[in-house]
Structure 1
Amino acid sequence: MTSLVRRGQPMKWTHGLVCGAALAWLPAYSLLIGVLFLPLVIAYFTDTSRNQDMVRMMLPYEFAALIHPLHILWNDEGSLNTTISLLLNPMTSVVGWLSAGAGWFVLEMTLISAKLIRQYQTRSKKAEIAARLKEIHEEWTENPGMPEAS
């Protein structure tokens, strides 16, 4: 158990160093990504299952919403003023956060669909087994010459 904890510690330091370097060298990109990924951070910390399926499902939608703002920021050479103007435009945040919501919605609808399909399959299998049992029961009760099992 302690070896697992020891192995995880360098990763935490590495993640911290990478985040710190990104903030120091690319503050405009870090700010834009941080604000638009805020729903992912909230989902990460509030996910009670801790298998992070929700965050994994939301991530591609967030990346898709991030392409246009990052392209604008790239064309303006990573200016902090451009980032602030992008973030002050409500459509940038709304599109980014709604894309995270779309990822969450797709995951939830997939889970609900899977449950409904499984319930349908279980009910049809149960009906099939009940029909077969009824056939067998009728088959055994129709033959009066057959000795009954005791």
Structure 2
Amino acid sequence: MTSVVRRGLPMKWSHGLACGAALAWLPGYSLLAGVLMLPLIVVYLTDRSRDQDLVRMMLPYEFAALMHPLHILWNEDGSLEAAISLLLMPETVMIGWCAAGAGWLVLEMALISAKLIRQYKARSKKAEIATRLKELHEEWAEDTSSSEIQPSA
């Protein structure tokens, strides 16, 4: 177990160094990306039940929502003031967070759809087996009644 922890530790250090470097050299981009990806970060830190499938599903939606604000920030030379002014516009944050919500919704709907399809297939298979059992029961009931009549004749 300690070898697993030791392998994960350098990865956390590298993430920390990358975040620190981004904050130092690109504070505007880091602030904008950090605030817009806040739902993703919260899910990453709290949801361990699905092996981070939810985070992987939310990520493309979040990146799509980040493109326009990052483009605007790029045109403003990536300044911290431009990032703050973008974040003070409510539609920027709402679009980013709703995109994360859309990723969550798509995953949940896919899981529900898969479950419903599996249940439908199981019910149809059960009905098929029940029909076949009924046919076999009727067939064997006819054979039993005809065999009982023949010896008496």
TM-score, structure 2 normalization: 0.92
Question: Is the partner of 2:59 in helix, strand or coil?
Answer: helix
Amino acid at match of 2:102: A
Question: Is the partner of 1:103 in helix, strand or coil?
Answer: helix
Q: For the residues of structure 2 that align with 1:146 and 1:32, how far apart are their CA atoms?
A: 85
Aligned residue for 1:43? 43
Amino acid at match of 1:17: L
Aligned residue for 1:104? 104
Q: Which has the larger Rg?
A: 2
Identity across the alignment (%):
73
CA offsets 1:60-80 (integer angstroms, 9 cap, x no match):
000000000000111111111
Amino acid at match of 1:26: L
Listed as ranges, the matches of 1:1-150 within 5 Å are 1-143=1-143, 144-146=145-147
- RMSD between superposed Cα atoms in Å: 1.3
Question: Is the partner of 2:5 in helix, strand or coil?
Answer: helix
Cα displacement (A) at 1:50? 4.8
Amino acid at match of 1:102: A
Cα displacement (A) at 1:48? 4.3
Q: For the residues of structure 1 that align with 2:43 and 2:147, how far apart are their CA atoms?
A: 66
CA offsets 1:35-68 (integer angstroms, 9 cap, x no match):
0000001111221405111111110000000000
Cα displacement (A) at 1:81? 1.1
Amino acid at match of 1:47: D
Q: For the residues of structure 2 that align with 1:3 and 1:41, how far apart are their CA atoms?
A: 26
- Any stretches of 5+ residues in structure 2 without a counterpart? 149-153
Q: For the residues of structure 1 that align with 2:26 and 2:125, how far apart are their CA atoms?
A: 58
Q: For the residues of structure 1 that align with 2:121 and 2:104, how far apart are their CA atoms?
A: 26
Q: Hey, which of these two has a bigger chunk of helix by percent?
A: 2
Cα displacement (A) at 1:22? 0.5
Greater shift, 22-31 or 46-55, is seen at 46-55
Cα displacement (A) at 1:117? 0.7
Question: Is the partner of 1:123 in helix, strand or coil?
Answer: helix
Amino acid at match of 2:89: N
Q: For the residues of structure 1 that align with 2:122 and 2:116, how far apart are their CA atoms?
A: 10
CA offsets 1:5-49 (integer angstroms, 9 cap, x no match):
211111111111111000000000000000000000111122140
